[in-house]
Amino acid sequence: MISLGVLSPNRPIPRKYLPVLVTGGLFLAMFVAGGIRYEGFASGQVVLNVFIDNAFLLVVAVGMTFVILTGGIDLSVGAVVALATMISASLVTDGGWPPTLVIPLVLAVGAVLGLAMGCVIHYFDIQPFIVTLAGMFLARGLCYTIGTDSISITDSTYTGLAQARIDLPGGAFVSPSVLVAVVVILAGAYVLHYTRLGRNVYATGGNEQSALLMGLPVARTKIAVYTISGFCSALGGVLLSFYMLSGYGLHAVGMELDAIAAVVIGGTLLTGGYGYLLGTVLGVLVLGLIQTIISFEGTLSSWWTKIFIGLLLFAFILLQRLGAARRT
Amino acid sequence: MAEPDPILRMIGISKEFPGVKALTGVDFRLLPGEVHALMGENGAGKSTLIKVLTGVYDVDAGRIELAGAPIAFTGPLEAQRAGISTVYQELNLCANLSVAENIFIGREPRRFGRIRWGETRRRAAELLARLDLDLDVSAPLSSYSPAVQQMVAIARAVDISASVLILDEPTSSLDAGEVAQLFRVMRRLKEEGIAILFVSHFLDQVYEIADRMTILRNGRLVGEHLTAELSQVELVGKMIGNELADLERLDEKPKDLARTGDVIIEARELGRAGAVQPFTLSIHQGEVVGLAGLLGSGRTEIARLLFGADHAGAGEVVIDGTPVSLRTPRAATARGIAFCPENRRTEGLIADLTVRENIVLALAAARGWARPIPRRRQDELVEKYIGALRINPPNPEQLVRNLSGGNQQKVLLARWLIVEPRLLILDEPTRGIDVGAKAEIQRLVVSLSDGGMAVLFISAELEEVLRLSHRVGVLRDRHLVAQLPNDDDLTVDVLMETIASGARP
């Protein structure tokens, strides 16, 4: 047997996990630094609060991770979130529909929007950037055809879910939305790593032409990721309507950018093919923890959040660049 | 012995692209348990025939039968399901996925929809062991060399229980040992009754492995022959028509060794960490300097340093006696240096522009946007170089993507010739192109140097380097170990020994 052992890579730590480790390290460092600087910061509940305040963003970012792994982008997510809150609020408050009917309907609307954008992107071979930009305007505009003002939700199911606390051992608690987000994350990770759809997502992002020539269903995969992203956005919208108890066309403005930032900070390559959902979760947590630290600081304006996110993004993009340079 | 029935039969296949008749009434058949070579120059229609067969392109006319039943695939997936697997010239794997995954993606063993990774890895390792390969199947494919990646692609194709295996230029990136290994695998598959369609430009390899060959020229069938009944000279004659004499005319070394033109460019202790050790090299006017060495020995890196595509970490470049800083390709171009890179598809040509636009690109860039080239002047120039380089089809408005590899290479050459550089750097200009186009490019190099142009010629084929160069620089492990005048003592054997040992014996 001819050994090609000399050609084998020498990998002390699998380099593919490095970006996730960096993000995880950053999160830990921020948590420790916060704990030293502020009283009452170093508790599990602070982290859980980050989950509670960002459950909708987590769900949206899961969908975004699927899209970015194929090398695409979805700019419509924030607008779809807003549309979901608007449809929910108008049907529940003005229409008097039961939530058990409204929520599945809203999820279906999001998925169908995503499906439509995916089809346009694939069959007409148009850049995802411009198609989802159009989808963003469309969804945002549709919000205002429903109503220009904020519609508050007073339905008992919604208010009940908004106030519900799920107690954890040790006096800590989370909201039902966090459970939903965790289920979505676990399901997403399972799909990405243990199903053909997930592997096709990685293959398509790695080299679309190759994936096609290897006989993989590239069309189905690309359309599926935008559908998943649309679905996740709608679900994020439902969670946001629990959190805000209102529907409004100006909800979640710029959330697509937060989601993209979280995915990138989580180590997923914008060119596709490399990245993990765990990284995305850590990315959202880092963003949330920045906000927490700034609120603990007390004297800083909340705009500092944006400044830190901007600096972090720069740092992580440069890191990706260096990683890519070493790979080739 | 009676011939078995063909497993695959293509009858009267025609295919036309805008402005190009790629195939005209081609017949082809493939018998089970044979290695069948598809021969022809670049642009003869080999790739098109394969793509028609695997459903990448529709046929305009003709029909295809697999085991007697008519087939019309809509894509490679369908062809694969029917038992026709292809390993293309360009690697079609996903470098970001693991070795095991590249072999099994789309066909992973599953239980209730869940991929069984342990099983996938075990089966991948077994399969590779059958092909005498010992790889870490969970390592990403990108951590292996192109040669190993090629083997993985073949392993994948083989495992798809193929009755027909198509290997399109599988050997172009493999070294001799790996080629031998591949051939062992091919013979084993042949014994299993698999029909193998093999495309290669290396005649020796074709004669070593193929039982039968079909020859195409200009999209038409020239003939089908048993390898044993056709000599190499006859084969080349059939492939390139009546241009055989051209090849022989070039089979002599450049005569006037004492090129004493002025030194055009001199690299003094030029180097870049991790790419190439500091080297000193001067190139005279009208001189062809060959660079020989193994793949990865630093040949391309030297070219890139001289062209300013990479920044030198050490040393300096002296042009006409003055030290200059070549920080960008633009600076190098302004000083009369031109570079045809190795990877013409990704680093040179713009596939969606026409032949004319690609050819005038460098000249237009040199003049700047404020001084566009008049259209009439463009047409004249392009006409001249299409004629001089015999670019086929001779249509300036043809999109470059529709040209064959050899003709694309000529377009790239034309682009740089048009700016009349003083130093032309050619990195593997003849790789993957056929004998006819190869001879034309070699002849061109000779005539350019006769005209006073300096040429830095990089090639993996030592015969070619010897035939063209006045002086040969030998690289070994990123070191320029020797610079040998191409006198009567210099032979391929001497070059090989120098590459192997690092000094002239």
Confidence of residue A194 (pLDDT cuts 50, 70, 90): very high
Domain boundary among B242, B257, B285: B242
B430, B501: one domain: yes
Same domain, B120 and B183: yes
Q: What's the pLDDT at A83?
A: 96
CB contact under 8 A, A217 and B76: no
Mean pLDDT for B427-447 is 80
Query: Are residues B315 and B379 located together in one domain of the fold?
Result: no
pLDDT computed for residue B242 by the predictor: 53
The reported pLDDT for the residue numbered A152 is: 92
State the first-to-last Cα distance of chain B, in angstroms, to the nearest integer: 53
Q: What is the pLDDT of residues A204-222, one digit of tens each?
A: 999 998 888 787 899 999 9
Q: Is residue A182 in some structural domain?
A: yes
Same domain, yes or no: B188 and B204? yes
Distance, C-alpha A93 to centroid of its chain? 28
B88/A213 Cβ within 8 A: yes
Is B255 among the domain residues? Answer: yes
- Give me the residue from A3, A8, A274 closest to B96, CB to CB: A274
Q: How many CA atoms lie within 13 A of B444 on its CB side?
A: 22
**Is the model more confident about B17 or about B69?**
B69
| pLDDT for B161 | 64
Q: Is the residue at B3 inside a domain?
A: no
Contact residues on chain B for A4, CB-CB shorter than 8 A: 133-135, 148
Predicted pLDDT at B332? 87
pLDDT at B425: 92
How near does any CA of chain B get to the CA of A290, in Å? 32
B387 has a pLDDT exceeding 80: yes
Judged by CB atoms closer than 8 Å, whether chains meet at A214 and B108 is answered as: no
B241 pLDDT band (50/70/90 cuts)? low
* DSSP track, B300-349: HHHHHHHHTSS--SEEEEEETTEEE---SHHHHHHTTEEEE-S-IIIII-
Q: Is residue A133 part of a domain?
A: yes
Tell me what the mean pLDDT of segment B188-200 comes to: 86
Q: What was the pLDDT predicted at A98? A: 93
pLDDT surpassing 50 at residue A6: no
Instruction: Inspect the interface and report whether the beta carbons of B75 and A215 lie closer than 8 Å.
Output: yes
> Distance from B283 to chain A by nearest Cα, in Å?
31
Final residue in a domain of this structure, among B242, B265, B291: B242
Indicate whether B293 and B429 sit together in one domain.
Answer: yes
Report which of residues B410 and B456 the model is more confident about. B456
Domain that holds residue B280: 243-336+421-505
Same domain, B85 and B154: yes
A195 touches chain B (CB under 8 A): yes
Residue A64 has pLDDT above 90, yes or no: yes
CB contact A10 to B (< 8 Å): no
Instruction: Domain of residue A99: give its range.
Output: 44-252+269-274
Q: Do A200 and B101 touch (CB under 8 A)?
A: no
Instruction: Tell me how far apart the alpha carbons of residues B346 and B90 are, in angstroms, rounded to a whole number.
Output: 12
Is the separation of the CB atoms in B139 and B98 below 8 Å? yes
Q: How many folded domains does chain A comprise?
A: 1
Nearest chain A residue to B106, by CA: A216
Contact B143 A212 (CB under 8 A): no
Residue A272 pLDDT > 60 = yes
pLDDT(A7) > 50: no
Confidence of residue A286 (pLDDT cuts 50, 70, 90): very high
- Residues B134, A4: C-beta atoms closer than 8 Å: yes
Q: Reply yes or no on whether the pLDDT at A235 is more than 90.
A: yes
Which among A60, A59, A58, A38 has a CA at the least distance from the CA of A50?
A58
Does the pLDDT of residue B467 top 50, yes or no? yes
Q: Is residue B389 domain-shared with residue B258, that is, in the same domain?
A: no
| Average of per-residue pLDDT across B55-69 | 88
B88 contact residues in A (CB cutoff 8 A): 213
Q: What is the pLDDT of residue B385?
A: 86
Is the pLDDT confidence value at A1 over 50?
Answer: no
Average pLDDT, chain B: 83
Average pLDDT of the segment spanning B325-340? 86
Better-scored residue on pLDDT, A257 or B257: A257
Residue A198 pLDDT level (bands cut at 50, 70, 90)? very high
Q: Do B213 and B331 sit in the same domain of this protein?
A: no
- B90 and B177 belong to one structural domain: yes
Of B88, B91, B148, the CB nearest to A7: B148
Task: Tell me if B258 is assigned to some domain.
Answer: yes
Residue B1, domain member (yes or no): no
Q: Where residue B489 falls among pLDDT bands split at 50, 70, 90?
A: confident
Residue at B259 is within a domain: yes
Chain B residues within 8 A of A9 when measuring between CB atoms:
136, 139-140, 143-144
Residue A282 lies in a domain: no
CA A214 – CA B106 distance, rounded (Å): 8
Residue-level pLDDT at B505: 40
Tell me how close the Cα of A114 comes to any Cα of chain B, in angstroms.
Answer: 24
Q: How many domains does chain B have?
A: 3
Between CA B39 and CA B237 the distance in angstroms is 12
Q: Check pLDDT > 50 for residue A4.
A: no
Sorting pLDDT into bands at 50, 70 and 90, what band is A13? low
pLDDT at A106: 96
Question: What is the 8-class DSSP label of residue A18?
Answer: H
Residues B375 and B413 in one domain: yes
Q: According to DSSP H, which parts of chain A are helical?
A: 18-37, 44-53, 55-69, 77-89, 99-123, 128-146, 156-163, 176-194, 196-206, 208-213, 218-244, 255-265, 277-297, 303-327
Does pLDDT of A115 surpass 60?
yes
The least confident of A15-19, A268-272, B205-209 is A15-19
Is there a single domain that holds both residue B184 and residue B135?
yes
* CA of A5 vs chain B CAs: smallest distance (Å): 7
Q: Is the pLDDT of residue B456 over 50?
A: yes
Average pLDDT for residues A192-206, to the nearest whole number? 94
Q: Let me know if residue B427 belongs to a domain.
A: yes
Q: How many CB atoms lie within 10 A of CB B435?
A: 21
Find the CATH number of the domain harbouring B192: 3.40.50.300
> Are B392 and B404 members of one domain?
yes
A287 lies in some domain? no
- What does the block give as tokens for B361? 């690109």
Q: Which segment of A100-114, A264-278, B367-381 scores lowest on mean pLDDT?
A: B367-381
Q: Is residue B101 part of a domain?
A: yes
Q: What is the pLDDT of residue B6?
A: 87
> Rounded distance, CA A8 to CA B138, Å?
11
The verdict on residue A3 lying in a domain is no
Q: Are B8 and B164 in contact (CB under 8 A)?
A: yes
**Among residues B153, B294, B324, B394, which one has the least CA distance to residue A213?**
B153
Mean pLDDT of A86-98: 92
User: For A207-226, b where at least 16 C-beta lie within 10 A, e where not — what string?
Assistant: bbebbbbbbbbbeebbbbbb
- Name which of B94, B114, B150 to mutate to probe chain A: the one with the most chain A Cβ atoms within 10 A of its Cβ: B94
In a domain, A324, yes or no: no
Q: Decide which of B200, B222, B242 is a domain's last residue.
A: B242
Closest to A271 in 3D by CA, of A208, A206, A326: A206
Q: What is the pLDDT of residue A10?
A: 47
User: Is B164 a member of any domain?
Assistant: yes
Q: What is the ipTM of this complex?
A: 0.83
Which of A148-162, A286-300, B240-254, B481-495 shows the lowest mean pLDDT across its residues? Answer: B240-254
What is the model's pLDDT at position B90? 66
Percent of chain A having pLDDT more than 70?
94
A92 secondary structure, DSSP code: I
Beta bridge partners of B13: B26
